[in-house]
């Protein structure tokens, strides 16, 4: 790719060490093509070249998976081993006052900023990855590859809970600097390495490239997010009663497959239903089994009982609220949810119902009949394209 070669040739990287931060396999991205171009541009010119996979808190990728994901065998490839304390270095602290300012006083907590040491031990951090509408930050990409991509638990928990307080439906696909993006950018300002990015707009579900921007992690992200806002959002004129999100194999558990709910919640009518159709999924969260005990609940369920839940990982609580969507809770009448969420997966029925979700045997699902149902929208390859109502577009212009 000549654009990648030309961009990196003019970036002043000769003789410097470069850490390339890439997504894991839960994002559509022509990563093999991009990795080949990056290595052709930098091999022999930089003093050291490392590739770090931004797992966040997702599962570790095996050597075979990494080979397929990156498109070949490369030296210096690392998983972000978020479960190992010695993975991290301490970059400093964001004060409670600053967190309060960024969050419009939704939170006022000091947060230590820890980052994978591989980023800090290189002169340049080069993010290579896609930008999509995102349920926590508005649009993914840019500095999000550092926080939460290769970050310590503290920033992950605080940023995700801030997104949960705002709610997924109110932040997903929001352009510009959301409060969560501002928090991420504040943390990224503490990184000593020069921060550059090849920000990609991919065609969802494919290895095809729609657009690419190069620059620092803020400006290149902004350019790609502007394109993603026109490419990765589908508008409907009317809400629908039922959505069936058909989840591709890249989502291995509900922790990741929940994107099939996030991306459609705005178009579901009150009292409607979202069915996550993923027969291949057999676990709620392979790396976060505590979700089976907590279950899935709306934001107000946790806020109303905060003393009970405040000492748990806020990132797990945030995931819970994101999948359960809008609702209310009070101690007298309990929880009232706007939308029913039903799993048609390989997860046992008792686990699904015990987590406060609806259960449907995937073998009983007649996709053809659902596609013919005028009250149902069936979405193949769900999880990346945001669906919104047309009046949301008009109100934002």
Report pLDDT for 393. 60
Can you tell me which residue has the tokens 């654009």?
Answer: 3
| Residue-range domain boundaries for the chain | 2-231, 237-396
In the CATH hierarchy, which top-level class contains the domain 2-231? alpha beta
196 vs 203: CA distance, rounded Å: 22
Report pLDDT for 204. 79
User: Which of the listed CATH numbers 3.90.226.30, 3.40.640.10, 3.40.630.10, 3.30.870.10 matches domain 237-396?
Assistant: 3.90.226.30
Cis peptide before 148 (omega within 30 of 0): yes
Between CA 161 and CA 260, with CA 255 as vertex, the angle to 5 degrees is 100
Between CA 300 and CA 135, with CA 99 as vertex, the angle to 5 degrees is 50
**Over the stretch 38-58, which tens digit does the pLDDT of each residue have?**
999 999 999 999 999 999 888
Which stretch of DSSP H or E encloses residue 395?
A: helix 390-396
Report pLDDT for 392. 65
Which residue from 335, 114, 139 is spatially nearest to 221, judged by alpha carbons?
A: 139
224 vs 209: CA distance, rounded Å: 12
Report pLDDT for 394. 45
* Assigned token pair, 372: 């013919």
Chain centroid to Cα 370, Å, comes to 29
Residues 83/54, Cβ–Cβ less than 8 Å? no
Cis peptide before 34 (omega within 30 of 0): no
379 vs 257: CA distance, rounded Å: 13
**Over the stretch 364-382, which tens digit does the pLDDT of each residue have?**
999 999 999 999 999 999 9
Report pLDDT for 355. 98
As a dihedral over the C-alpha atoms of residue 142, residue 235, residue 265, residue 130, rounded to 10 degrees, the angle is: -20
* Assigned token pair, 255: 């922790």
**For residue 309, with 0-12 CB atoms within 10 Å meaning exposed, 13-18 middle and 19 or more buried, which class applies?**
middle
Q: Is 189 a residue whose pLDDT tops 60?
A: yes
Which residue from 269, 274, 288 is spatially nearest to 83, judged by alpha carbons?
A: 288
As a dihedral over the C-alpha atoms of residue 183, residue 184, residue 188, residue 194, rounded to 10 degrees, the angle is: -140
**Over the stretch 306-325, which tens digit does the pLDDT of each residue have?**
999 999 999 999 999 999 99
What is the C-alpha radius of gyration for the chain, rounded to an integer number of angstroms? 21
Stretch 58-87: mean pLDDT: 92
């Amino acid at each position: 790719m000549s654009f990648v070669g030309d961009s990196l040739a003019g970036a002043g990287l000769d003789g410097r060490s470069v850490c390339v931060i890439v997504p894991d396999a839960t994002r559509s991205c022509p990563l093999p093509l991009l990795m080949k171009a990056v290595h052709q541009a930098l091999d022999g010119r930089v003093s050291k070249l490392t590739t770090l996979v931004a797992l966040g808190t997702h599962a570790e990728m095996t050597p075979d998976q990494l080979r397929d994901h990156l498109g070949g065998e490369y030296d210096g490839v690392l998983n972000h081993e978020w479960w190992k304390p010695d993975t991290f270095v301490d970059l400093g602290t964001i004060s409670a006052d600053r967190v309060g300012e960024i969050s419009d006083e939704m939170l006022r907590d000091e947060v230590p900023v820890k980052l994978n040491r591989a980023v800090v031990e290189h002169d340049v951090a080069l993010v290579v990855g896609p930008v999509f509408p995102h349920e926590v930050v508005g649009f993914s990409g840019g500095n999000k590859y550092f926080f939460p991509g290769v970050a310590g638990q503290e920033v992950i928990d605080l940023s995700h809970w801030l997104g949960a307080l705002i709610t997924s439906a109110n932040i997903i696909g929001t352009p510009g600097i959301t409060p969560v993006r501002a928090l991420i950018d504040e943390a990224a300002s503490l990184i000593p390495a020069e921060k550059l990015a090849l920000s990609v707009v991919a065609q969802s579900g494919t290895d095809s490239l729609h657009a690419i921007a190069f620059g620092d992690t803020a400006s290149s992200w902004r350019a790609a997010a502007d394109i993603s806002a026109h490419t990765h959002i589908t508008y409907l004129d009317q809400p629908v009663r039922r959505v069936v999100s058909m989840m591709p194999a890249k989502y291995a558990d509900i922790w990741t497959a929940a994107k099939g709910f996030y991306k459609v919640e705005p178009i579901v009518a009150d009292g409607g239903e979202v069915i996550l159709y993923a027969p291949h999924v057999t676990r709620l969260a392979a790396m976060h089994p505590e979700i089976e005990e907590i279950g899935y609940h709306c934001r107000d369920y946790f806020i109303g009982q905060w003393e009970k839940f405040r000492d748990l990982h806020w990132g797990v609580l945030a995931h819970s609220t994101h999948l359960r969507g809008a609702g209310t809770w009070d101690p007298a009448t309990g929880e009232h949810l706007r939308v029913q969420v039903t799993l048609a997966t390989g997860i046992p029925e008792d686990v699904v119902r015990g987590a406060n979700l609806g259960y449907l045997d995937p073998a009983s699902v007649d996709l053809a009949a659902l596609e013919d149902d005028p009250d149902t929208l069936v979405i193949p390859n769900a999880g990346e394209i945001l669906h919104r109502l047309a009046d949301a577009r008009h109100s934002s212009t």
